[in-house]
Amino acid sequence: MRFYHFISRIVVGVVFIFSGFVKGIDPLGMAYRLEDYFYAWGTEWMLPAALTLSIILSTAEFVLGVVVLFNLKPKVNAWLLLGMMLFFTGLTFIDAIYNPVPDCGCFGDAIKLTNWQTFYKNVVLMVPTLVLFIWRNKTKDQWNNFQAYGAAGVFALVFIWLSLHCYRHLPIIDFMDWKKGNKMFVENPLPVKYFLTYRNTTTGETQEYLSPNYPFSDSVWVLQWEFVSQRAEDPNTEKSHDLQILDFEGNDYTENFIRNPGYQFLLTAWSLEKADHKSLKKMDDFARAAEADGHSFIALTSSLSEEIDSIKETMSLTYEFYNADDITLKIMVRSNPGLILLENGVVLDKWHYNDFPSYAEFEDKFIQKTQ
C-alpha cells in the first residue's frame, strides 16, 4: 500500500503542479476562459472578478500539488484534494454533457482537451486521489505546523508574484500560435480538393467526383445526372493562424501584411476603450519613425470605426487601423495594446504595453544585427 500511496502522491502532485503552472503564467488566458463560462451561465455580473479568480484558482491548484507531492499535512491536503476533485469532476461532467464552452482550459493553452477528455482525465485522477484519502490517517506527518503552512504560504506568495509578473508583462512561456519563432503562413500550401456529388435522375443513385475528374464531356451522362452538392477538402490541416485583417469596407489585406518580406509591425488593441491610451500615443512616434525607414506599421482592433475615428482625433494618431476579431487579437498577444514584429511572416518579437520599445531600441536589437 505504501508503494501505491507514493505513486499516487507523485501522479497527483505533478498533474496539479503542471496544471496550475501553465494557467498561472498566463492569467489573462485563464481569465478569458472564465469569462466565457460567465457568459454561458448567465452570470455576467462576475466578469470583473475573472482575473482575480484566475490567479486564485491557479495558485490553489499549484500549491495543492506541491503539498501533496511533498506530503505536507497529509490529513488536511487529502480532504482538500478530495473536495476539489469531486467538485471539478462533477463540473466537467456537466460541461461534457451540455458543452457550454468547447475547451475548459484545464491545462491552459499548453494541452487542448475536449470536455469529455477532461472529464475522463478527472475520473482517472480520482483513483490516486482516493488512495491518498484512504491512507491519510496512516501517513506520518514529518512537518510541524509552522514548517508545513509556512512552506505552503511561501509557495503561494511566490506563485502569485509570478502570475502578476506575467500579467504585467507577457507569459514567461508562450503556448500560443503567435509565439516568437513561428511562421504565420504556409510556405508551399497544397491545393484544396473539391468534390462534387451528382444524382442519377432515373435511378436516384448518387456519385461523388473529384473535380475536374467527372465525365462532363459525355453528353449522355450530362442528360442523366444532375448536380447535388459540393464539398472542399483542405489538405493543409494545420492553419498557421485565424487572423483576418480587413479594412472598414470589408477588403481583406491579411496576406499583404502577413507575407510582407520586410519588417511588419502589428499593434493589437482588441478594445480601444479598455486599452492603455498612453501606450497608443507612445506608438505614434514609433510608427512615424518605422514608416520613415520603410517599415510597415498598422494597428488592429475590433472596435467600431466611430470609436477609432474618435481615438485618432483625440490623440492625433497617424497610423492606420484595420479590423480584426477580438478573440484572435487576445490570442495574438496578452496585452491591450500589444505589439508584434514580423519579418516574412516569422514572429521576431512581441511586447506587452509595459515593455514597448523605443524606435532606437528596436534598431539596436534588430537593425544592427543585420548589418
| pLDDT value of residue 239 | 56
| pLDDT value of residue 208 | 83
| pLDDT value of residue 137 | 81
pLDDT-flagged residues of the chain (< 50): none
| pLDDT value of residue 291 | 95
**Right CATH number for 254-370 from 3.40.50.720, 3.50.50.60, 3.40.800.20, 3.40.30.10?**
3.40.30.10
| pLDDT value of residue 188 | 66
186-207: burial string, b at 16+ Cβ within 10 Å, e else = eeeeeeeeeebebbeeeeeeee
What are 225-249's pLDDT values in tens digits? 787 777 877 766 555 678 999 998 8
Label each residue of the chain as H, E or C: CHHHHHHHHHHHHHHHHHHHHHHHCCHHHHHHHHHHHHHHHCCHHHHHHHHHHHHHHHHHHHHHHHHHHCCCCHHHHHHHHHHHHHHHHHHHHHHHHHCCCCCCCCCCCCCCCCHHHHHHHHHHHHHHHHHHHHCHHHCCCCCCHHHHHHHHHHHHHHHHHHHHHHHHCCCCCCCCCCCCCCECCCCCCCCCEEEEEEEECCCCCEEEEECCCCCCCCHHHHHHEEEEEEEEECCCCCCCCCCCCECCCCCECHHHHHCCCCEEEEEEECCCCCCCHHHHHHHHHHHHHHHHCCCEEEEEECCCHHHHHHHHHHHCCCCEEEECCHHHHHHHCCCCCEEEEEECCEEEEEEEHHHCCCHHHHHHHHHHHHC
| pLDDT value of residue 371 | 54
| pLDDT value of residue 238 | 54
| pLDDT value of residue 228 | 79
Domain boundaries, the chain: 2-168, 193-233, 254-370
What are 101-149's pLDDT values in tens digits? 877 778 878 888 888 989 999 999 999 999 999 888 877 777 888 888 9
